[in-house]
């Protein structure tokens, strides 16, 4: 485990707290009081620290408590200072008195003490025993070495190698703008992927991979820490009796959809977490804005393509970031090969092997045996058909394209691609039709493409009829709205003209007929009123003229006013 010497940050394991008891009989009363008080104080400090600043402040108080209360576990491990705190335990730098007695030049180890929540779980001790047992099988340069586990009264702890360097979370915190240098990022990704693949081959899944559980050492590369909630994925008889997720021992921002749903662990859970970490290393940003997978999926979030990567590299990383397990890249080594190895046109094995790349049949025939190639093609065709049945038409098209890259002119691929393209275009047109304000321009391009694929077909004729009907309805509504507006403003001629346009399209339209009748009545009423006004005008003018000729000027003026 790590040490924070020389201003280097240190490992942040799965955030844990502590609890303990002394074991010596002579000093039991005095020692117990100081021991428990110190550990309780450290525990409460880390419980309140949920930011980097909070952790630094908590660490300062914790180290002060260690100075004031000498804590020795089992008369052997002297706790010197805190290194990190996580969801499962607090990690200390400790001096191993046996190594001191043996005059070992490096008598220091890391000690992880379980927090109270985890420690009080009935299967905690069994879980830690399994962690140690499994870690002994994980002898690998990119996985931290676990020495042993033990208990001191109620305090359960394990001892590990002490590392120099810093945890990945601290490293990432300094590169949130653009991520790490691509070369450095890929080196870290390579170490992580190799370590995971090694563990997966032994049937062990990490289940809480995150930057805080990864340590970048000064001279030993990158190491994965804390397989504390790892479970034997492929051996049903070795199931744990507890769900780590239910006691907070998983990290939602890095947990797969299936882990959040408490499903059985799978190597693809670690692949998902590793892909998120790879994305952060290359960009400085979490691909889903730190949202748990379920929330990101519900919000239809998609990771933005990384400019530092080639299209080939991005396809693999995007596949590893898939929310659903069956769509996700299955092996961490495949991700490592794609990101750090030379570009090779190989298979990307997912739920149904989807081939990435554009090479001819001859190239594949040289690489695969004939029966392997047939199997790959059949599985890819099955994926294309399954996607089509689930109305995932783009997925079906991409799978068909992969088949055509293997064998141009392969008829089953041409058939499924054509069906998917037609369905996809029909969907686009339907979306245009369903819009509140239909615009023919929206449907024009997919309609043209559809005509090129299924010209003269009954399906195309039905779609064209539906579009014609929608356009007809739109025109009718436009004429009707204009007719009503004209009538309301007293422009009865306009109202009659627009209503007649409606009757040309729909001869028995009652609203249009009623509006024409109302407009004609209004025009007739206006005409009668105008005639009456004209007659009154003539009478008034005649009377005024007579008064004027008789020199009755007041009478003449009065009649003129009557106009």
Say which residue, 316 or 145, is predicted with more confidence. 316
- Cβ neighbors of 134 (< 8 A, separation 6 or more) are 202, 204, 227, 230, 232
Question: Per-residue pLDDT tens for 149-158?
Answer: 888 877 888 8
Domain spans of the chain, in order of start: 2-165
* Distance separating alpha carbons of residues 217 and 273, to the nearest angstrom: 21
Residue pair 61/52 in contact by the 8 Å Cβ criterion: no
Say which residue, 283 or 382, is predicted with more confidence. 283
Q: Which of 191-200, 272-281, 290-299 has the highest mean pLDDT?
A: 272-281
Q: Which helix (H) or strand (E) holds 27?
A: none
- Helix 510-549 to helix 458-488 angle (10° resolution) is 20
E strand map for 342-418: 347-348, 354-355
Read off the pLDDT of each residue in 15-27 and give the average, rounded to a whole number: 37
Q: Which CATH superfamily is domain 2-165 in?
A: Phosphorylase Kinase; domain 1 (3.30.200.20)
Band of the pLDDT at 242, cuts 50, 70, 90?
A: very low
* Distance separating alpha carbons of residues 243 and 262, to the nearest angstrom: 7
* Distance separating alpha carbons of residues 201 and 96, to the nearest angstrom: 33
Question: What per-residue confidence (pLDDT) applies to 86?
Answer: 67
Question: Per-residue pLDDT tens for 318-367?
Answer: 999 999 999 999 999 999 999 987 443 333 333 333 333 333 333 444 33
Read off the pLDDT of each residue in 29-56 and give the average, rounded to a whole number: 54
pTM beyond 0.85: the answer is: no
Question: What per-residue confidence (pLDDT) applies to 16?
Answer: 30
- Label residue 334 exposed, middle or buried (CB < 10 Å: 0-12, 13-18, 19+): buried
Read off the pLDDT of each residue in 236-247 and give the average, rounded to a whole number: 43
Question: Per-residue pLDDT tens for 437-496?
Answer: 667 778 888 888 888 888 888 888 888 888 888 888 888 888 989 989 999 888 989 989
Per DSSP, the three-state class of 124 is: helix
Q: Using alpha carbons only, what angle is made at residue 504 by residues 498 and 505, rounded to the nearest 5 degrees?
A: 100
> Greatest CA span in the chain, whole angstroms?
149
* Distance separating alpha carbons of residues 46 and 112, to the nearest angstrom: 14
């Amino acid at each position: 485990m790590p040490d924070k010497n020389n201003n280097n940050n240190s490992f942040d394991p799965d955030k844990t707290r502590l609890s303990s008891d002394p074991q010596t009989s002579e000093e039991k009363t005095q020692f117990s009081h100081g021991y428990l008080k110190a550990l309780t104080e450290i525990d409460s400090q880390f419980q309140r620290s949920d930011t980097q600043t909070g952790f630094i402040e908590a660490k300062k108080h914790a180290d002060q408590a260690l100075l004031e209360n000498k804590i020795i576990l089992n008369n052997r491990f002297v706790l010197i200072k805190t290194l990190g705190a996580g969801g499962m335990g607090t990690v200390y730098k400790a001096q191993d008195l046996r190594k001191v007695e043996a005059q070992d030049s490096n008598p220091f180890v890391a000690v992880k003490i379980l927090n109270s929540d985890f420690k009080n779980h009935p299967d905690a001790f069994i879980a830690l025993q399994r962690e140690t047992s499994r870690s002994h099988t994980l002898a690998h340069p990119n996985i931290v070495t676990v020495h042993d586990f033990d208990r001191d009264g109620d305090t359960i702890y394990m001892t590990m190698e002490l590392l120099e360097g810093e945890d990945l979370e601290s490293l990432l915190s300094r590169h949130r703008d653009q991520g790490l240098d691509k070369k450095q990022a890929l080196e870290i990704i390579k170490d992580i992927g190799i370590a995971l693949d090694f563990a997966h081959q032994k049937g062990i899944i990490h289940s809480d991979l995150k930057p805080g559980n990864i340590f970048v050492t000064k001279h030993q590369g990158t190491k994965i820490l804390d397989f504390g909630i790892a479970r034997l994925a492929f051996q049903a008889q070795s199931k744990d009796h507890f769900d780590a997720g239910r006691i907070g021992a998983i990290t939602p921002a890095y947990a797969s959809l299936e882990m959040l749903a408490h499903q059985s662990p799978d190597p693809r859970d670690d692949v998902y977490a590793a892909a998120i970490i790879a994305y952060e290393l290359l960009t400085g940003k979490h691909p889903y804005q730190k949202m748990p997978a379920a929330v990101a999926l519900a919000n239809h979030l998609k990771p933005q393509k990384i400019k530092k990567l080639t299209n080939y590299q991005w396809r693999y990383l995007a596949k590893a970031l898939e929310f659903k397990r069956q769509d996700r890249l299955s092996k961490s080594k495949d991700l490592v090969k794609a990101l750090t190895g030379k570009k090779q046109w190989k298979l990307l094995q997912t739920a149904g092997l989807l081939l990435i790349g554009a090479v001819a049949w001859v190239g594949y025939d040289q690489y695969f045996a004939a029966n392997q190639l047939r199997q790959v093609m059949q599985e890819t065709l099955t994926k294309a058909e399954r996607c089509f049945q689930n109305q995932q038409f783009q997925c079906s098209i991409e799978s068909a394209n992969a088949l055509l890259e293997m064998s141009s002119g392969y008829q089953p691929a041409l058939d499924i691609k054509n069906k998917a393209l037609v369905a996809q275009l029909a969907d686009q047109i339907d979306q245009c039709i369903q819009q509140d304000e239909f615009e023919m321009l929206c449907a024009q391009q997919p309609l043209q493409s559809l005509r090129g694929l299924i010209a003269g077909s009954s399906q195309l004729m039905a779609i064209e009829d539906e579009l014609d009907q929608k356009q007809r309805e739109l025109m009718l509504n436009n004429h009707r709205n204009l007719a009503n507006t004209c009538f309301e403003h007293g422009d009865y001629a306009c109202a009659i003209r627009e209503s007649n346009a409606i009757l040309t399209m729909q001869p028995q339209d009652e609203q249009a007929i009623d509006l024409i009748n109302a407009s004609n009545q209004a025009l007739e009423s206006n005409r009668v009123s105008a005639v009456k006004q004209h007659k009154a005008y003539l009478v008034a003018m005649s009377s005024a003229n007579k008064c004027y000729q008789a020199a009755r000027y007041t009478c003449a003026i009065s009649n003129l006013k009557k106009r």
